[in-house]
Structure 1
């Protein structure tokens, strides 16, 4: 039985317009079914992913 794979290559990286011009913030990119988050200070270090449900819960909690 073969498993399925998902493309987790983030697209459309965005950061808040309120973050200013510095590199002390995070960026959020889209992935299939969720979001990817990375640090602007070291983009090459990678990113972590969340499901759409996890991302929605996070956003609701910080509003």
Structure 2
């Protein structure tokens, strides 16, 4: 199965150490390191991915409430 990967709009240029890509399966979301596309990926449900995004936004703002 071929996945169409999209690079995060928050990933920077060539020297950015924190580059991620997301891909969609029929019923899941995959996340991988764009600097190491052959290194594997995480697969999660759409709900788990949404929770991850919310958590990342809170962490970025410094809101560490769980």
Q: Give the TM-score, by structure 1 length.
A: 0.68
Decide whether the 8 Å contact of 2:8 with 2:22 is kept in 1: no
Larger RCO: 1 or 2 (CA < 8 Å, sep 6+): 1
Correspondence 1:56 to 2:55: no
TM-score, normalising length: structure 2: 0.65
Deviation of the 1:17 alpha carbon: 2.4
How well do the aligned residues superpose, as a CA RMSD in angstroms?
A: 1.8
Q: Which runs of 4+ in 1 moved over 6 A?
A: none
Q: Unaligned stretches of 5+ in structure 1?
A: 1-8
For structure 2, the residue ranges without an aligned partner over 5 or more in a row are 58-66
Greater per-residue strand proportion: 1
